[in-house]
Amino acid sequence: MNNLFNFDTPFLLRTFGLIFIGIGIIARLGIWKKWYWRSRGLVYSYIPVGVIFLLYGFNDLARERLGTFFWIYQVGYAIPVMVAIWWMVRPPAFVKPDWVRWIEAYPEKTYQSMQQAAQEDPDWESHVASEQKVAAWAGSLGKGRPKPKAGSRTDK
């Protein structure tokens, strides 16, 4: 019974790190879409959180190898922590999958209509397969056009 709880903690931490990174990559590539309407911002931080788990999984090894310079390794935690917070609070466009950028380009009322329609339609993912399908979906909801991009002229 005592061996039941004898885990290899570094191995588990590294495994969790790889799982978080994998989920983050799958979401970033646009393969997994169901997360979006439930918790929009959290999944963006999965990759840096996975890196934090990986770093912590190698903590003992780094302490052993670096000796008195181990503090440098610990300071290195600040980078993925700051990136995770940044990507969770205000994710940059390069972190978002294409289909998310297409949806978020529409005005708030259109976005809200899309969200409501997605929650009522289990097959909503087919509407975000391309930018044209997103435009058709927004049009079918009777809502407006995407917001103009920064630097584009709307008075042509």
Return d(Cα 21, Cα 46) in angstroms, integer.
6
Among 74, 96, 118, where does a domain finish? Answer: 96
Q: Is 73 within a domain?
A: yes
Return d(Cα 53, Cα 9) in angstroms, integer.
11
Return d(Cα 21, Cα 123) in angstroms, integer.
27
Return d(Cα 44, Cα 95) in angstroms, integer.
7
Number of domains in the chain: 2
Do 68 and 50 fall within a single domain? Answer: yes
pTM: 0.78
Do 33 and 85 fall within a single domain? Answer: yes
**Higher local confidence (pLDDT), 153 or 141:** 141
Tell me the residue range of the domain where 39 lies.
1-96
Do 103 and 48 fall within a single domain? Answer: no
Q: What is the pLDDT of residues 68-81, one digit of tens each?
A: 999 999 999 999 99
Q: What is the pLDDT of residues 87-109, one digit of tens each?
A: 999 999 999 999 999 999 999 89
Q: Residue 3: is its pLDDT beyond 50? A: no
